[in-house]
Homo-oligomer: A and B are copies of this chain.
């Protein structure tokens, strides 16, 4: 299992230059991210400790049990967080998209692994340096607590999904949730992008690839969605999809 490495030096210094050229002040996800807790010149204190890093698709960013030296903010692309059982069963605990923050659980070690779903750009913060900013900027900690609360609520929704929903309800809920998040980020919402594979979706929804695939077919046959290609869904009938998602 290849660990995540910085890009080759030439490329890496390229992205570091990019970071200087496009500082936090011009960040396209700032007002959605935790950095929004900082105002005006305060943002420079964040800028001092951050590295903007490109990560190609399919890379391990960190693994469960690693020293949690860094936390991340997603700028573009998507990340999957997951836990593995010794026999290889995998549960994806979340997909992260631009403006999402990785590492709320500020423990000594990561409680899950993280891999890039596609090419992506992240902001990386040394954890202890970010924590050191809490003293000067309590709003940052408040913001993090707020984010943690949102994550907990999402986690509870996911427990309901995994514990009590049928395959069709799970997939419908998943699509609607992605739709919400896409619209919160200001992305287009007629069609939404699914950067992850069917296997990823299955491991997120507690299903197998085959069941995910069959359920896509079912939703398509019911006229709720269209899938022009495997990584794109069009929402044809939002109301019907809501009904299919089962409420709760």
Contacts and interface: CB of A to CB of B under 8 A. Distances in A.
B138 A85 contact: no
Given A106-B149, A149-B148, A248-B83, A93 B156 contact: yes
A16 interface: no
Contact of A145 (B86, B106, B155): B106
A246 B85 CA distance: 7
Interface residues of A, number: 47
Interface in A123-158: 134-135, 138, 141-142, 144-146, 148-153, 155-158
Nearest to A144: B145
A89 interface: yes
Contact of A106 (B138, B146, B156): B146
A155 B104 CA distance: 13
Interface stretch (A37-45, A50-58, A159-167, A213-221): A159-167
A246 B91 CA distance: 14
A220 B85 CA distance: 25
Contacts of A205: 163
Total identical chains = 2
Nearest to A169: B85
Interface string A205-248: 11000000000000000000000000000000000000000111
A111 interface: yes
A188 interface: no
A105 interface: yes
Contacts of A93: 156, 159-160
A178 B109 CA distance: 23
